[in-house]
Structure 1
């Protein structure tokens, strides 16, 4: 008879529990307040004290949700990426469904560059290198590559779709690792215009 080894039971405190609804609401409220502060005054204006004051929640609640300023900015990075994915999959055109594939691809790259620019500032405040948060090299990158490939196929262009999608994503990824001073010197608008020129040269 096969001998079976009993597995140790996981201690109660080690079991992962879903976030309580009130905790989830507090977290989203804090992130939304943080986004408003950044949009109005830039990332340098966002501190744990400022977030607590503007949100109307206690400072203890802020620290329980994020533990530190670095934790707050890491959460903002994650929420920024998820919101971008939601908009290009389900949002209005031209980024979302409803526009011709070429226009969607142009809009995708333009918005990806803008989001990357925002994320680079968040990375700086999270005290993390770009390699620590690289959507193009993660699960988000897989989704992005699949999205680009889908639009290339829908365009009907005579291209090697997997290779072209990979190369286009690599071009966008380069913006993420571009040094801050170089990105400021070139300008986000010029980078976005360069993306549009690249796409339209491939898909006339």
Structure 2
């Protein structure tokens, strides 16, 4: 292994350790109680490494959210149906919404760290929510599936409405109470009614 390969491997290991440490800290502490120094200590790296890699606490939280969202993206593109290709649009949309609700329910601390417009928010005063790459990806996927089955509906707006339901105050409060299954059932009922041809 060359020196540059070793450096790249070390950087990848550090990134993984930092993200895992952050996720673990978020299960134990409110996001506002977590400092970059705590993350560095938990990850076994220097504080400068955390700042160099992620820039800020917000940058770190955003990177963690994007990594979690990437798992869904991989399932959509290369995974088995119904989340992956090969199932009818209605079944794929139901599977996708279930996966997103599960992601949001499991990462409430992370979402809180990203601010009141979570789960797919932009840093305040930087970019609108709909410009965030996770939001764009999720929106495009929903709108494509809706259009495939119900081209008579406004698929673009319906995708925004479904995503908006995931970051409203009452919904996040319900998830805090452990009502993820209730939200999933409600979204499934709504989508099933809308996708009837």
The corresponding residue for 1:3 is none
Unaligned runs of 5+ in 2: 1-6, 123-127
Superposed displacement of residue 31, structure 1: 1.5
Q: TM-score, normalised by structure 1?
A: 0.66
Larger-gyration structure (1/2) = 1
Unaligned runs of 5+ in 1: 1-19
The corresponding residue for 2:184 is 192
Question: Would you say the 8 A contact 2:144–2:155 is kept in 1?
Answer: no
Q: CA RMSD in A?
A: 3.4
Provide the C-alpha distance between the structure 2 equivalents of 1:116 and 1:136, rounded to a whole number of angstroms: 16
Matched, 1:145 2:139: yes
Q: CA offsets per residue over residues 50-91 of structure 1, 9 Å max, x none? A: 543443333442343235444422322232333332332233
Matched, 1:65 2:53: yes
Report SS of the residue matched to 1:130.
coil
Q: CA offsets per residue over residues 83-110 of structure 1, 9 Å max, x none? A: 3323322333322223332221101111
- Give 1:160's match in structure 2, choosing from 152, 171, 193: 152
Matched, 1:111 2:99: yes
Matched, 1:176 2:170: no
- How many residues get paired? 179
Question: Would you say the 8 A contact 1:96–1:104 is kept in 2?
Answer: yes
Alignment of 1:114-129 (within 5 A): 114-118=102-106, 120-126=108-114, 128-129=115-116
Provide the C-alpha distance between the structure 2 equivalents of 1:29 and 1:177, rounded to a whole number of angstroms: 31
Question: Would you say the 8 A contact 2:101–2:180 is kept in 1?
Answer: yes
Label 1:92 to 1:52 Cα distance change in 2 as closer, same or farther (>3 A). farther
Label 1:119 to 1:166 Cα distance change in 2 as closer, same or farther (>3 A). farther
Label 1:60 to 1:143 Cα distance change in 2 as closer, same or farther (>3 A). closer
Label 1:43 to 1:72 Cα distance change in 2 as closer, same or farther (>3 A). farther
Superposed displacement of residue 29, structure 1: 3.4
Label 1:43 to 1:109 Cα distance change in 2 as closer, same or farther (>3 A). farther
Matched, 1:133 2:121: yes
Label 1:148 to 1:33 Cα distance change in 2 as closer, same or farther (>3 A). same
Most deviating of 98-107 and 26-35: 26-35
